Chains A and B, each alone.
Chain A
Amino acid sequence: MSSENLIDVKDLKMYFPIRTGFMKTTMLKAVDGVTFSIKPGETLGLVGESGCGKTTVGRTLLRLYKPTGGEIYYDGNLITDKNMLEYRPKMQMVFQDPYSSLDPRMTVEEIIGEPLDVHHLYSNKKERREKILGLMELVGLNAEHATRYVHEFSGGQRQRIGIARALAVDPKFIVCDEAVSALDVSIQAQVINMFEELQEKLGVAYLFIAHDLLVVRHISDRIAVMYLGRVVETADADELSDSPIHPYTQSLLSAVPIPDPKIAKSSKRIILEGDVPSPLKMPSGCAFRTRCRFATEKCAQECPPLTDRGNGHMVACWNK
Chain B
Amino acid sequence: MANTNGKKPPLLEVRNLHTSFKTDKGEVRAVNGVSYVLEEGHSLGIVGESGSGKSVSAYSIMQILDSNGHITEGQILFKGEDITHYSAKQMQEFRGKNCAMIFQDPMTSLNPVYTVGNQITEAIRIHSDKSKEQARADAVKMLEMVGINDAERRMKQYPHELSGGMRQRVMIAMALVMEPSILIADEPTTALDVTIQAQILELMLDLQKKLNMAIIIVTHDLGVIAQMSDQIVVMYGGRICERGTAEDIFYHPAHEYTKGLLRSIPSTNNMKKKLVPIAGTPINLLNMPKGCAFCSRCDAAMKICLTQVPDELRIDDTHLASCWMNVKNGTYRKEEA
Tell me, yes or no, whether A and B come into direct contact in the complex with CB atoms closer than 8 A.
Answer: yes
- Measuring CB to CB, which residues of chain A are less than 8 angstroms from any residue of chain B? 49-50, 154, 156-157, 184-190, 192-193, 196, 211, 213-215, 217-218, 238, 251-252, 254-265, 269, 271-272, 275-276
Q: Does B261 count as interface, using CB distance less than 8 angstroms?
A: yes
Quick check: B271 and A218 within 8 Å, CB to CB?
yes
B277 in contact with A251 (CB, 8 Å): no
B264 at the interface (CB under 8 A from A): yes
Residues of A within 8 A of B202 (CB): 269, 271
Query: In the complex, are the beta carbons of B222 and A185 less than 8 A apart?
Result: yes
The 6 nearest A-B residue pairs measured at CB: A257-B223, A189-B277, A189-B264, A255-B198, A218-B266, A259-B222
Q: Which of B193, B197, B271, B282 has the most CB of A within 10 A?
A: B193
Q: Are A184 and B276 in contact (CB under 8 A)?
A: no
B196, B274, B281: the one within 8 Å of A157 (CB): B281
Chain B residues in 8 Å Cβ range of A269: 198, 202
Query: Which residues of B in the span 251-307 have a Cβ within 8 Å of any Cβ on A?
Result: 251, 260-262, 264-271, 274-279, 281-282, 297
Cα A255 to Cα B196 with chains together (Å): 8
Q: Which residues of B lie under 8 Å from residue A217 when comparing CB positions? A: 266, 271
Q: Residue B194 at the A interface, CB < 8 A?
A: yes
Q: How large is the interface on B (under 10, 10 to 19, 20 to 34, 35 or more residues)?
A: 35 or more
- Judge whether B227 is part of the interface by a CB distance below 8 angstroms: yes
* Known contacts A257-B221, A272-B195: A186-B277 contact under CB 8 Å: yes
Assembly CA distance A118 to B111 (angstroms)? 48
- In the bound complex, CA of A260 to CA of B194 (Å): 17
Given contacts A214-B266, A257-B223, contact A252 B50 (CB under 8 A): no
Looking at the assembled complex, report how far the CB atom of B239 sits from the nearest CB atom of chain A, in whole angstroms.
16
Residues of B within 8 A of A189 (CB): 264-265, 275-278
Q: Which of A185, A252, A256, A261 has the most B CB atoms < 10 Å from its CB?
A: A261
Asked if B275 and A218 sit within 8 Å, CB to CB, the answer is: yes
Whole-angstrom distance from the CB of B107 to the nearest CB of chain A? 13
- Would B194 and A211 count as touching, CB distance under 8 A? yes
Nearest CB of A to B285, in Å: 13
0 or 1 for each of B214-227: is its CB under 8 Å from A? (1 = yes):
00000011111111
Complex Cα gap A192–B264 (Å): 10
CB nearest neighbor in A for B262: A259
Could you tell me which B residues sit within 8 Å of A by CB distance? 49-50, 163, 165-166, 193-199, 201-202, 220-227, 246-247, 250-251, 260-262, 264-271, 274-279, 281-282, 297
Q: Is the CB of A185 within 8 A of B261?
A: yes
Across-interface contacts of A214 in B (CB, < 8 A): 223, 265-267
Quote the shortest CB–CB distance from B221 to chain A (angstroms). 7
In the complex, chain A residues whose CB is within 8 Å of the CB of B282: 154, 184, 186-187
Indicate if the CB atoms of A260 and B226 lie closer than 8 Å: yes
Give min CB distance, A160 to chain B, whole Å: 11
Interface of chain A: mostly helix, strand, loop or mixed: helix
Do A260 and B274 touch (CB < 8 A)? no
Whether B250 contacts A185 by the Cβ 8 Å rule is no
* A-B interface pairs (CB < 8 A), number: 128
Are A193's CB and B274's CB within 8 A?
yes
- A-B pairs with beta carbons under 8 Å apart, 5 shown: A189-B264, A214-B266, A257-B227, A264-B223, A276-B193
B55 vs chain A, min Cβ distance (A): 14
Other A-B pairs, 14, CB within 8 Å; known A186-B297, A254-B198: A49-B194, A189-B264, A192-B275, A193-B274, A196-B274, A211-B194, A214-B267, A215-B266, A257-B221, A257-B223, A258-B268, A259-B262, A264-B226, A271-B199
Chain A residues in 8 Å Cβ range of B222: 185, 259
Task: For B201, give its contact among A184, A192, A257, A263 (CB under 8 Å).
Answer: A257
CA A107 – CA B197 in complex, angstroms? 40
- Residue of chain B at shortest CB distance from A255: B198
The answer for the CA separation of A255 and B197 in the assembled complex, in Å, is 8
CB atoms of A264 and B194 under 8 A apart: no
Does A213 contact B264, Cβ atoms closer than 8 Å?
no
* A187 to B202 Cα, complex, angstroms: 29
Instruction: Give min CB distance, A272 to chain B, whole Å.
Output: 5
Task: Please give the distance in Å from B77's CB to the nearest CB on chain A.
Answer: 28
Judge whether B277 and A190 touch: CB under 8 Å. Answer: yes
B281 touches A252 (CB 8 A): no
Known A154-B282, A189-B276; judge A260-B197 contact (CB<8 A): no
Q: Which of A49, A186, A196 contacts B49 (CB 8 A)?
A: A186
Return the contact of B226 from the options A154, A215, A258 (Cβ within 8 A).
A258
A252 touching B227, Cβ below 8 Å: no
> Contact between A185 and B264 (Cβ–Cβ < 8 Å)?
yes
Contact call B265/A156, Cβ cutoff below 8 A: no
Q: Is A260 touching B277 in the complex (CB atoms < 8 A)?
A: no
Q: In the assembled complex, which residues on chain B have CB atoms less than 8 Å from the CB atom of A215?
A: 266
A259 and B194 contact, Cβ closer than 8 Å, known pairs A189-B265, A217-B266, A218-B266: no
A157: B residues at CB distance < 8 A: 281
From the candidates A156, A211, A257, name the one contacting B193 in the complex (CB within 8 A): A211
B281 & A255 in contact (Cβ 8 Å cutoff): no
What CA separation (Å) do A271 and B49 show in the bound complex?
A: 28
Complex-state Cα separation, A193 to B274, whole angstroms: 7
> Which residues of chain A have C-beta atoms less than 8 A from B195's C-beta?
49, 251-252, 255, 271-272
